[in-house]
């Protein structure tokens, strides 16, 4: 009794004091929890399926799992994949079996479920399959990459949103109501605080708690807020999905010629601690894949920016890569070379080991000359146009057009040349 009393009197963090007590109080996840949402419908019917809650830190995954158990009268059994192993799981499953025999179900909540290895994940399957437990797993990582297909087939994946500005504002108002005083911020600083939270409700409330400890009468603008609280690093894992999402955003912004968006994603990657060499390598790839010969200088610029970074390092060399982002974003675009390469590879695989035509083979020996190597070859420079129009594909293989330049940038000029040579080739083959 006294232990409970002392525990009740112990200080609790603001985020814990404001933890929602009903599903309706959870902010930012209405698309799932509203009465007509997929999870809300299950709660209304009091029949939960096993599920994976996928979302960023501080969006309410643990709270939602606890409230789901409370709303459906299931025993809540929490485990962390970081601190638990096979022995812990066995105990949970045995207890769940006993509970089930007494008529009560068990909601097994596993935080950071992606940290369990494949064999441990396989261990859940029979207990999920026969209903011994209703599994609710929480993960910040893409379940497609981190969880077994067999487990995913038995659990629905629900995507939780990072908290938007409206959801964070609700948390600020609840914090002010809980403490009985307004946050010591002007309007701009209040907006900046929500931006600093970066969609993480728990972190937002921790920032509020820091601010409430300031002396009464304090009034902060944005500069004062930045000095008063510790800003965290952006959410970005160089080895996981965030890494691939941001490089994809950078690549597609460049492809769409949105230079400003590309600069933003480039800056986001740098702010997250990405190695600029990786970005330079990917931009070099972009230069040949998406700009190509529409601007032959793109590859030169990419190599130059990469080399400049290697010589200067950060932060000076970052500007060279930023300049490359601008160059590539504003360059004419063509993937004709990329498509030509792919088409030629497919043709090479399909045609096997066809020999080149005899007239374009060298004949370094008398026997090879006697066999016809090099016979009939027309030296292009000896023609008036510098173009003989001969066939260079294998005998018996129809001519194919792998490279089709676009009507943009320098490829417009290449198109003219190809059309001119095609006319000459047709004329000369017709004469033959």
- List, for residues 106-147, the tens digit of each pLDDT value: 999 999 898 888 888 888 888 988 889 999 999 988 888 888
Mean pLDDT for the chain overall: 88
Average pLDDT rounded to a whole number, residues 145-171: 90
Condensed to tens digits (0 to 9), the pLDDT of residues 326-364 reads 999 999 999 999 999 999 999 888 887 788 888 888 888
Q: Bridge-partner residues for 136, per DSSP? A: 51, 109
If pLDDT is split at 50, 70 and 90, which confidence band does 12 have?
confident
The answer to whether residue 260 scores a pLDDT higher than 60 is yes
The answer to whether residue 62 scores a pLDDT higher than 50 is yes
| CB 158, CB 53: distance < 8 Å | yes
Q: Bridge-partner residues for 158, per DSSP? A: 53
Cβ-based neighbours of 205, under 8 Å, separated by 6 or more: 13, 14, 15, 18, 171, 175
Q: What percent of the chain has pLDDT over 90?
A: 54
Strands (E), 113-166: 134-139, 156-159
Considering only CA atoms, give the Rg of the chain: 32
Cβ-based neighbours of 120, under 8 Å, separated by 6 or more: 85, 86, 89
pLDDT at 130: 86
The answer to whether residue 2 scores a pLDDT higher than 60 is no
Q: In what order do the strands lie in the sheet with 75-80?
A: 75-80, 106-111, 134-139, 51-54, 156-159
pLDDT at 240: 56
The structure's pTM equals: 0.62
The answer to whether residue 290 scores a pLDDT higher than 60 is yes
φ, ψ dihedrals at 79, nearest 5°: -140, 150
Q: Say whether 388 sits in a helix, a strand or coil.
A: coil
């Amino acid at each position: 009794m006294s232990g409970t009393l002392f525990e009740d009197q112990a200080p609790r963090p603001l985020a814990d004091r404001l933890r929602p007590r009903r599903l309706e109080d959870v902010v930012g996840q209405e698309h799932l929890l509203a009465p007509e949402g997929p999870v809300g419908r299950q709660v209304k019917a009091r029949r939960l399926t096993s599920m994976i809650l996928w979302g960023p830190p501080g969006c309410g995954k643990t709270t939602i799992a606890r409230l789901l158990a409370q709303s459906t009268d299931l025993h809540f059994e929490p485990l962390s994949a970081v601190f638990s192993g096979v022995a812990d799981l066995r105990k949970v499953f045995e207890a769940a079996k006993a509970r089930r025999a007494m008529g009560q179900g068990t909601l097994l909540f596993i935080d950071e479920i992606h940290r369990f290895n494949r064999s441990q994940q396989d261990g859940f399957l029979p207990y999920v399959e026969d209903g011994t437990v209703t599994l609710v797993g929480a993960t910040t990582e893409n379940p497609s990459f981190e969880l077994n297909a067999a487990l995913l087939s038995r659990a629905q994946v629900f995507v939780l949103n990072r908290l938007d500005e409206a959801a964070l504002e609700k948390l600020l108002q609840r914090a002010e109501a809980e403490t009985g005083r307004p946050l010591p911020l002007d309007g701009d600083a209040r907006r900046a605080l929500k931006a600093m939270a970066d969609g993480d409700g728990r972190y937002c409330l921790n920032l509020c708690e820091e601010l409430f400890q300031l002396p009464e009468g304090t009034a902060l603008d944005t500069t004062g807020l930045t000095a008063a609280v510790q800003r965290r690093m952006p959410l970005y894992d160089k080895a996981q999905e965030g890494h691939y999402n941001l490089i994809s955003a950078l690549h597609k912004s460049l492809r769409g010629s949105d230079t400003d968006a590309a600069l933003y994603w480039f800056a986001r990657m740098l702010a997250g601690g990405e190695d600029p060499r990786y970005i330079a390598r990917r931009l070099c790839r972009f230069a040949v894949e998406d700009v190509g010969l529409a601007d032959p200088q793109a590859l030169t610029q990419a190599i130059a920016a990469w080399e400049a970074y290697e010589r200067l390092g950060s932060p000076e060399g970052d500007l060279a890569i930023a300049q490359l982002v601008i160059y590539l974003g504003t360059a004419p675009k063509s993937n004709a070379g990329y498509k030509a390469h792919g088409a030629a590879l497919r043709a090479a695989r399909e045609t096997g080991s066809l020999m080149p035509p005899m007239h374009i083979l060298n004949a370094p020996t008398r026997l090879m000359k006697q066999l016809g190597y090099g016979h009939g070859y027309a030296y292009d420079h000896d023609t008036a146009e510098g173009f003989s129009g001969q066939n260079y594909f294998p005998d018996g293989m129809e001519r194919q057009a792998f490279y089709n330049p676009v009507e943009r940038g320098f490829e417009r000029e290449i198109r003219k040349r190809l059309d001119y040579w095609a006319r000459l080739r047709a004329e000369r083959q017709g004469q033959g």
